[in-house]
Chain A
Amino acid sequence: MKVWVNNKEVETAAVSLASLVEDLSLPAQGIAVAVENRMVPRTQWGDYVLSEGMRVVVVKAACGG
């Protein structure tokens, strides 16, 4: 299945948002993830089912000022 992650097409076997995050080797903490421009709380990543063409945005926490 193909999904979009930060505007790049990604081929993935992941079924849920949680497994996509794992597949992409993203850190488990310090990131926020949005699907179709809506943040998905971490507690829902496991149940969030991916579908073809979904647009995912990963935001890394930053602390500079």
Chain B
Amino acid sequence: MLEADGLHTAACSGGRYARQEMLPEIGHAGQAKLRRAKVMIVGAGGLGSPVALYLAGAGVGTLTLVDEDVVSLSNLHRQVLYAESEVGTSKVAAAAVRLRSLNGEVDIRTHACRLTRENAESLIKGHDVVVDACDNYATRYVLSDACAALGRPYIYGAIEGFCGQVAVLCCPPRRRTYRDLFPDEDALRGMTPFKGVVGMTAAVVGSVQAHEVMKLLCGYGDVLAGRLWTIDLRTMESYVLDI
């Protein structure tokens, strides 16, 4: 059992996970579930940074990162996984170093490639939950279709400017897909994305996505299954809408 693990025992007696394990919603049982869980994060940018950092910190056993990109200077205001010295290097490689230094108990796996219709299902298989931290519409349709086909919860998140949205898709009891939310794939794929964003939008939205993963894995709270949460940080106006 997990108690045999020295680090885990230390954690239970006031160590690494003590502050979350003392919450009745999580406890030792929830911590064990987190440790057994395998979570895939598609995109290691603005959203992927807080998602990966908080899930690694929380002790999710296996984290798989998928991103083909390299770190650039204009990433650093929001992609808190990376440092100036890593500009020009592979995001997933730099992220793995950072995440392993944060929590050596987590198995960090990386794929320096793009998620496509061809590789989506083979990449996703073997994971319990998929987090969407990507930066384009095309990948979101691929992710949603693959998660629906495989029956994996799909933690959707997207940001622009000061606004963000999160939904838990392909997940009972309200199984909805990205296509239910935005059916017009051709139109969206043809739109030129606006790239302006403040780092805090990514921080808030990525943290909400990471916490939906915690709720799903530990089994507490009301998961956003089939519901969309939106936030506008300029006004702090926020909605939860049934999809």
In the complex where A64-B135, A65-B133, A65-B134 touch, is A39 in contact with B160 (Cβ < 8 A)? no
Chain B residues in contact with chain A, CB under 8 A?
43, 45-48, 132-137, 140, 157-160, 163-165, 180-184, 187-188, 191, 193-195, 197, 202, 228, 230, 237, 239-243
Cβ contacts under 8 Å, B181 to chain A: 32, 39
Instruction: Let me know if A64 and B46 touch, CB within 8 A.
Output: yes
Instruction: Let me know if B242 and A64 touch, CB within 8 A.
Output: no
Cβ contacts under 8 Å, B159 to chain A: 62, 64-65
Instruction: Let me know if A65 and B188 touch, CB within 8 A.
Output: no
Instruction: Let me know if B188 and A61 touch, CB within 8 A.
Output: yes
Chain A residues 16 to 51 lying within 8 A of chain B, measured CB to CB, are: 29-30, 32, 34, 37-39, 41-42
Instruction: Let me know if A37 and B48 touch, CB within 8 A.
Output: no
Instruction: Let me know if B140 and A63 touch, CB within 8 A.
Output: yes
Instruction: Let me know if A38 and B182 touch, CB within 8 A.
Output: no
In the complex where A39-B241, A59-B165, A65-B133 touch, is A30 in contact with B184 (Cβ < 8 A)? yes
Instruction: Let me know if A65 and B165 touch, CB within 8 A.
Output: no
Additional 15 contacts, C-beta under 8 A, given A32-B181, A60-B163: A29-B184, A29-B188, A34-B241, A39-B180, A39-B241, A42-B184, A59-B230, A61-B158, A61-B191, A63-B137, A63-B158, A64-B160, A64-B197, A65-B48, A65-B159
Chain B interface main SS type: mixed
Instruction: Let me know if A38 and B241 touch, CB within 8 A.
Output: yes
Size range of the chain A interface in the assembly = 10 to 19
Instruction: Let me know if B237 and A62 touch, CB within 8 A.
Output: no
Complex CA–CA separation, A63 to B158 (angstroms): 5
Instruction: Let me know if B165 and A39 touch, CB within 8 A.
Output: no
Question: 8 closest Cβ contacts across the A-B interface?
Answer: A62-B160, A29-B187, A65-B135, A62-B158, A34-B241, A29-B184, A64-B159, A65-B47
Cβ contacts under 8 Å, B140 to chain A: 63
Instruction: Let me know if A37 and B191 touch, CB within 8 A.
Output: no
| A57 contacts partner chain B, Cβ-Cβ < 8 Å | yes
Instruction: Let me know if A64 and B182 touch, CB within 8 A.
Output: no
Q: Closest residue of chain B to A38, judged by CB?
A: B242
Cβ contacts under 8 Å, A64 to chain B: 46, 135, 158-160, 193-195, 197
Q: Which of A7, A42, A61, A62 contacts B164 (CB 8 A)?
A: A62
